[in-house]
Amino acid sequence: MEERLLRAFVTVAEAGTVSAAAQRLDLVQSALSRQLQRLQRELRLPLFARVGSRLELTTAGEAFLPVARRVLAAHRQAEQAARTLASGSLAEVAIAAPGTTLIDVVLPFVATLDEDDPRPRVAETQLDDSLQDALARHDLVVMPMAPGPTVQALHLIDLPVWAYVAPGHPWADRADVALEELVDVRVVAPSRSFMARRVLDGAVAVAGLTAPELSEANSGRVAQALVATGAGVAVVTEDPAFGLVPLRVLLDGRALSVGLHAAWRADHFAAATLARIAASLQDFVRTRYPQPGPADDIPVTTRASPLSAAPSQ
């Protein structure tokens, strides 16, 4: 059912005569008549009945007319969508990130977008998905790891791994704590499905220290809630809650941190638009989390393509 045949049918139905419709379509009458005959043969339906010099719709033609109009409208929309895609424009952008990054970074950023930006659609990544699988479902993936060289990516920021203490804690008037001190106290941390925990475990192993007494929470926010009672130190990357005091965790005088990256497919039809969105996200997150200076941080940039290799940030 070709678009030109449907357009011929609708135009004749609206014009009432083949001659008038042929003028509208810039066709000779014989060519237009052949198109109508072909459409009726393909449909196996009589669409018109001649009444004097005019063509009137048959009952079947009247029933088919709104269907043909809907198909033509859908065809126009498809053409418009194709032109939009070919221009690299993006009407909607799907952004995905692990839980904490989604809450602390992506959602606040999305709230700053305006009506001229692509409509955002956000989702939480599954940690057992590979990066390639995530990029097949989403336009932009924000992750607490450095992606491999097979995708386009932008380093957004290095976020500290915080040691949170209650206001009455002996460390509450400090700005940082050495890892050697931290392993001697009770630590509350999320499971190894979170990057903060893996950074902590990795730093302890690199330093050759004995692991601290650790209570495991099912999220960084729960870890903070437990520490808000005054017992222990919460090690997380999340924004502070419950009035806790943040301390940077130092190893050899430098702060442990997690590197956030935005990744997208290099062959994405709107790669240039995604690069601009990633740059805007970079500006946003660096304004939201002012950095003390690159020399003070140890970014964690585990290079691996599966998202499961990088726990929930």
- Residue given tokens 């520490």 in the structure block: 227
**Whole-number pLDDT of residue 68:** 92
**Whole-number pLDDT of residue 292:** 60
According to DSSP, the residues that pair with 303 across neighbouring strands are 146
Measured between alpha carbons, how far is 261 from 147 in angstroms, rounded to an integer?
A: 8
**Whole-number pLDDT of residue 186:** 93
Q: pLDDT class for 128, splitting at 50, 70, 90?
A: low
Measured between alpha carbons, how far is 12 from 186 in angstroms, rounded to an integer?
A: 83
**Whole-number pLDDT of residue 37:** 94
Q: pLDDT class for 90, splitting at 50, 70, 90?
A: confident
Is the pLDDT confidence value at 191 over 70?
yes
Mean pLDDT of the chain: 85
Is the pLDDT confidence value at 126 over 70?
no
Residue 124 Rama label (left phi>0; alpha psi -120 to 50; beta) = beta
The backbone torsions φ and ψ at residue 252, rounded to the nearest 5 degrees and listed phi first, read: 55, 40
Give the pLDDT confidence of 149-166 residue by residue, as tens digits.
Answer: 778 999 999 999 999 999
According to DSSP, the residues that pair with 176 across neighbouring strands are 248
Neighbours of 81 (CB within 10 A): 12
**DSSP one-letter code for 169:** S
**Whole-number pLDDT of residue 303:** 35
pLDDT above 90 as % of the chain: 53
Measured between alpha carbons, how far is 248 from 250 in angstroms, rounded to an integer?
A: 6
- Residue given tokens 């222990």 in the structure block: 232
According to DSSP, the residues that pair with 258 across neighbouring strands are 159
Is the pLDDT confidence value at 208 over 90?
yes
Measure Cα distances from 245 to 3, 66, 218, 230, 232 in Å. Answer: 67, 66, 21, 11, 12
Is the pLDDT confidence value at 312 over 80?
no
**Whole-number pLDDT of residue 307:** 42
- Residue given tokens 């509450």 in the structure block: 172
Q: Averaged over 114-128, what is the pLDDT?
A: 82
Is the pLDDT confidence value at 195 over 90?
no
Is the pLDDT confidence value at 177 over 90?
yes
Q: Averaged over 247-273, what is the pLDDT?
A: 90
Angle at Cα 42 formed by Cα 39 and Cα 44, nearest 5°?
100
Is the pLDDT confidence value at 182 over 90?
yes
Q: Averaged over 245-259, what is the pLDDT?
A: 92
Domains and CATH numbers, the chain: 3-86 (1.10.10.10), 92-157+260-309 (3.40.190.10), 160-256 (3.40.190.290)
Give the pLDDT confidence of 23-51 residue by residue, as tens digits.
Answer: 989 999 999 999 999 999 999 999 999 88
Q: Averaged over 100-121, what is the pLDDT?
A: 90
More confident residue, 115 or 175: 175
Q: Which tokens belong to 61? A: 């033609």
**Whole-number pLDDT of residue 298:** 43
Q: Averaged over 167-189, what is the pLDDT?
A: 92
- Residue given tokens 């791994």 in the structure block: 161
CA 20 to chain centre: 51
pLDDT above 70 as % of the chain: 89
